[in-house]
Chain A
Amino acid sequence: MSSIWRTLERGVRGNALLVDAGLTCLAVMFIGLSYGAVAVTSGFPVWVPAAQSVLVLAGASEFLFIGIVAAGGSPIAAALAGMLVNARHLPYGLALPPGVTGRGWRRLLGTHLMNDESVVFALGQDDPARKRAAYWTCGLGVLICWPGGAILGALIGSAVHNTGAFGLDAMFPAVILALIVPDLRNRMTLRAALAGAAIALLATPFLPAGLPVLLALAAVLLLARAPSGAAP
C-alpha cells in the first residue's frame, strides 16, 4: 500500500488526483446519506443499507433493490434486477490493464473496489503505476464514504417519523433521476427510458408489485432492433 502513496506523492499531478478523488468521494457520501435515509424511511432496518453498502458497493443497484422490495416485490427478483444493472462491471474488468486490481490475496479486495469511479480514475492515468494508485485511492475512498454516508443517513432517517410531511418520499425518485440524467442526454437511451417508464406505469394497476419495473426491460428491444449504425 505504501508504494501507492509514493507514486501519488511523486507524480506532479498527484495532488490534483487526490483532490479530484476526494471530491468524488464526498459526492459519493452525499448520495450514500440519501440512500441510507431513503432505505430506512421505506421501512428497512438500519442494517440493510449498512450491510448492502459494504457487500454490494454499487449504488444504483442498491437503490433498485430497495425500491422493488419496498414496493412489495420479491427480494430475489430485486436481486436479479440489481445484477443486470451491475453487469457493466464485466466490461470494466476487461478494460482495466492486468495488475491494476492487485496481485495475490490483495486482488480479492481490489476486485471488490471496482466501481464507476475507481475505473474512470484508473483509465484516466498514463502509466501502470499511476493507474494502480488512482484505482486503489478512489476505490478505498468509496469503500469508506459510501457505507459511511449510508449508515449516517440511515441513523438520521430513523429519527424522522412523519416522512410524508417533509416530502422525503420524493427524495428517492429524485436521487435516481439525478443519477441517470447524464445517460438520458443520449436520444436513443432517452427514448428507451421513456418507453420503459410508460410500460411500467401502465402495468402497475394490474401486476404484482416489483414486476412492472422488470417488464420495462421490453423497451430495450427498441434499441436492440435499431440498426447498429444508427446515430444516437
Chain B
Amino acid sequence: MKDGTLVVAGMATLSAGTYAFRWSGQLYAFRWSGQLLRARISFPPRAARLLEAAAVVLLAALVATTALTEGHGFSGFARPAGVLVAGVLAWRKAPFLVVVLAAAAVTAVARLLGVP
C-alpha cells in the first residue's frame, strides 16, 4: 500500500458517501409522502436504469483490466483463461464457490504447464 493516509481518506469518503445515499432516499420519501397524500413517489425508472448500467459498466471494466492487464501491459494467458472459464460457469448458473475456485484452479494449472 503506497500511502496509508490517502487510503484512509478514500475509505472515509466511500463510507460517508454511501451512508448519505442510504439516508437521502428515505428523507425524500418521508417528506413527499405527507404533501402528496402518501402518493407513491418513485425514482424516475430511466434514471434508475442508467445508474444500474453505470455500476455494471464500471465493474465490467474492472473485470477486463484486472483479467487482461498487469501494469500497462498484457497479463499473460493463464489469468484470462481462468476468468473466461469462470465467466462461462457463471453464465450457466454454477454455484458462486465453484465459479471462483474454477478460476483459480484453471490459472494455477495453466501456470504449472508453463503458460505465462
Contacts and interface: CB of A to CB of B under 8 A. Distances in A.
B and A form one assembly: yes
Given A58-B18, A170-B107, A204 B100 contact: no
Given A79-B14, A169-B107, A170-B86, A196 B19 contact: no
A96 interface: yes
Contact residues of A: prevailing secondary structure: helix
B interface SS class: helix
A184 interface: yes
Given A166-B108, A197-B60, A93 B10 contact: no
A199 B58 CA distance: 11
Contacts, number: 287
A194 B64 CA distance: 9
Band of interface residues on A = 35 or more
A95 B109 CA distance: 47
Contact of A93 (B13, B29, B53, B109): B29
- Give chain B's interface residue range (CB within 8 Å of chain A): 35 or more
Contacts of B71: 209
11 contacts: A43-B1, A63-B59, A64-B59, A67-B66, A69-B10, A79-B10, A88-B48, A172-B66, A178-B96, A192-B57, A200-B64
